[in-house]
Structure 1
């Protein structure tokens, strides 16, 4: 008999601090897959989807989804390859994150900081590839 196990990724509870060592990235606002388990959707920002679209009701930056993703990848230490599913593999420093709770599905919304960069969401806004999402920014990145 073949047993099949599904690994459920838990959402980190709102307000909890946690570490994230990035291993792969999908687009400019996440998800970022952490070696420790969580999948992070960066808080307070909005990026175009990889196909170039913007979701209804979301801020819509001018930069393409690919440009935003590649910018995030560079901030996280650079591309180390690509997975069979199209995710960009990264190997960067461990981020210190604070959860904002569930970001739909199995993603944790979070504010994360890297040692040499500081707040990743604010750094992405400064690049001009994403927009500050006032509804979720909670006073960050002014």
Structure 2
């Protein structure tokens, strides 16, 4: 986990769902901070915002924002080849995941792009003072 407030880079290699985790070749696994997407099975976790877009559509949108899909891992993760993101840690997202705000050289703020596209909803509890 990357400590809160620390900046780091993430070259995405795998995506699980619309808000993460995203595996980075540099080591961290990140969850996009301040947003919530549906789970892949279509459900929403209790207490989380629940967008209308399916979990699969949200995952595919995130994968497209992060780079080119190159396949599927044996565990079902979407494999990605994409540019390096500049990220800022918001601390732990549970387990070994880092909650992060990330900028893509192609699409800008990925967290905001997911909300703008309707694939995820802003989660006010964790959004803090983030600006798109």
TM over 0.5: yes
TM bin, normalised by shorter chain, reads over 0.9
Cα deviations across residues 38-88 of structure 1 (Å, max 9, x unaligned)? 000000100000111100000000001000000000001121100000000
User: What's the counterpart of residue 119 of structure 2?
Assistant: 129
CA distance, structure 1, for counterparts of residue 107 and residue 90 of structure 2? 20
TM-score by length of 1: 0.91
Say which SS state the counterpart of residue 90 (structure 1) adopts.
Answer: strand
CA apart distance, 1:139: 2.3
Aligned partner of 2:98 among 108, 111, 115: 108
TM-score by length of 2: 0.97
Say which SS state the counterpart of residue 19 (structure 1) adopts.
Answer: strand
Matched, 1:71 2:61: yes
Cα deviations across residues 91-140 of structure 1 (Å, max 9, x unaligned)? 10000000011100000000000012111000111110110111111122
CA RMSD of aligned residues (A): 0.9
Structure 1 runs of 4+ aligned residues shifted over 2 Å read 139-142
